[in-house]
Amino acid sequence: MADVERSVREELDRISPVLDPLGEMFAQAGHELALVGGPVRDAMLGRAHNDLDFTTSARPEETERLLGRWGDALWDMGRDFGTIGCRKGPWQVEVTTYRSESYDPTSRKPVVDFGHSLTGDLGRRDFTVNAMAVSLTDGSGRELVDPYGGVVDLATRVLRTPGRPEDSFSDDPLRMMRAARFAAQLAFEVDPAVVEAMTAMAERISIISAERVRDELSKLVLAPYPRIGLRLLVETGLAALVLPELPALKLERDEHHRHKDVYEHTLTVLEQSIDQESRLADLSGGGPDLVSRLAALMHDIGKPRTRRFVDGGQVTFHHHDVVGAKMTRKRLQELRFSGDTVEAVAKLVELHLRFHGYGDGEWTDSAVRRYVRDAGDQIERLHVLTRADCTTRNRRKAERLRRTYDELEARIARLSEEEELASIRPDLDGTQIMEILGIPPGRDVGAAYKFLLELRLDNGPMTEEAARAALLQWWASR
Query: Which 8-state DSSP code applies to residue 316?
Result: E
pLDDT at site 110:
59
Which class for 429: exposed (0-12), middle (13-18), buried (19 or more C-beta within 10 A)?
Answer: exposed
In a domain, 267, yes or no: yes
| Domain stops at, among 243, 271, 303 | 243
- Hey, what's the torsion of the CAs at 223, 226, 228, 230, to 10 degrees? 120
Which class for 190: exposed (0-12), middle (13-18), buried (19 or more C-beta within 10 A)?
Answer: buried
Cα–Cα distance for residue pair 278/434, rounded to 1 Å: 46
Q: Structural domain of residue 136, as residue ranges?
A: 1-156
In a domain, 132, yes or no: yes
Cα–Cα distance for residue pair 374/422, rounded to 1 Å: 10
CATH number at residue 220: 1.10.110.30
In a domain, 249, yes or no: no
Cα–Cα distance for residue pair 251/364, rounded to 1 Å: 37
Bridge partners, residue 151, by sequence: none
Which class for 156: exposed (0-12), middle (13-18), buried (19 or more C-beta within 10 A)?
Answer: exposed
In a domain, 434, yes or no: yes
Same domain, 189 and 260: no
| Domain stops at, among 400, 423, 446 | 423
Same domain, 312 and 297: yes
Cβ–Cβ contacts within 10 Å for residue 4, how many?
A: 15
Same domain, 273 and 231: no
Same domain, 79 and 57: yes
Phi–psi pair at 361, nearest 5 degrees: 95, 20
Bridge partners, residue 159, by sequence: 190
Cα–Cα distance for residue pair 360/338, rounded to 1 Å: 38
Same domain, 321 and 470: no
pLDDT at site 469:
87
pLDDT at site 139:
62
Q: Are 74 and 64 in contact (CB under 8 A)?
A: yes
Strand 33-36 relative to strand 51-56: parallel, antiparallel, unpaired? antiparallel
Same domain, 73 and 149: yes
In a domain, 202, yes or no: yes
Q: Are 273 and 311 in contact (CB under 8 A)?
A: no
Query: How many domains does the chain divide into?
Result: 4
Q: What residues contact residue 316 under an 8 Å CB cut-off, 6+ apart?
A: 306, 307, 308, 310
Cα–Cα distance for residue pair 58/64, rounded to 1 Å: 10
CATH number at residue 137: 3.30.460.10
Same domain, 59 and 151: yes
CATH number at residue 324: 1.10.3210
Same domain, 277 and 176: no
Of 234, 173, 167, the residue nearest 208 (C-alpha): 173
Bridge partners, residue 93, by sequence: 52, 86
Phi–psi pair at 302, nearest 5 degrees: -80, -10
In a domain, 248, yes or no: no
Cα–Cα distance for residue pair 411/422, rounded to 1 Å: 13
Residue pLDDT tens, the chain, 478 long: 566 777 788 888 899 999 999 999 999 999 999 999 889 999 888 888 889 999 999 999 999 999 999 999 999 988 888 999 999 999 999 999 998 655 555 555 556 678 889 999 999 899 999 999 999 987 656 889 999 999 999 999 999 999 999 999 998 999 999 999 999 999 999 999 999 999 999 999 999 999 999 999 999 999 999 999 999 999 999 999 999 999 999 875 544 444 568 999 999 999 999 999 999 998 888 899 999 999 999 999 999 998 888 776 678 888 899 999 999 999 999 999 999 999 999 999 999 998 887 666 678 888 888 888 889 899 999 999 999 999 888 889 888 888 888 988 888 888 777 656 555 778 788 888 888 888 899 888 888 888 888 888 777 788 888 888 888 888 888 7
First to last CA, the chain: 82
Strand 91-97 relative to strand 51-56: parallel, antiparallel, unpaired? parallel
Same domain, 280 and 221: no
In a domain, 234, yes or no: yes
Same domain, 401 and 457: no
Cα–Cα distance for residue pair 55/94, rounded to 1 Å: 8
Cα–Cα distance for residue pair 54/67, rounded to 1 Å: 12
Cα-based angle 260, 264, 269 (whole degrees, multiple of 5): 95
| Domain stops at, among 403, 423, 443 | 423
Same domain, 380 and 438: no
Q: What residues contact residue 406 under an 8 Å CB cut-off, 6+ apart?
A: none
Of 227, 161, 173, the residue nearest 200 (C-alpha): 173
In a domain, 201, yes or no: yes
Cα–Cα distance for residue pair 116/326, rounded to 1 Å: 51
Of 125, 247, 228, the residue nearest 180 (C-alpha): 228
DSSP string, 85-121: EEEETTEEEEEEESEEEEE-TT-SSEEEEE-S-HHHH
E-only strand ranges, 214-353: 308-309, 315-316
How far CA 320 is from CA of 16, 130, 352, in Å, comes to 56, 42, 10
Same domain, 263 and 401: yes
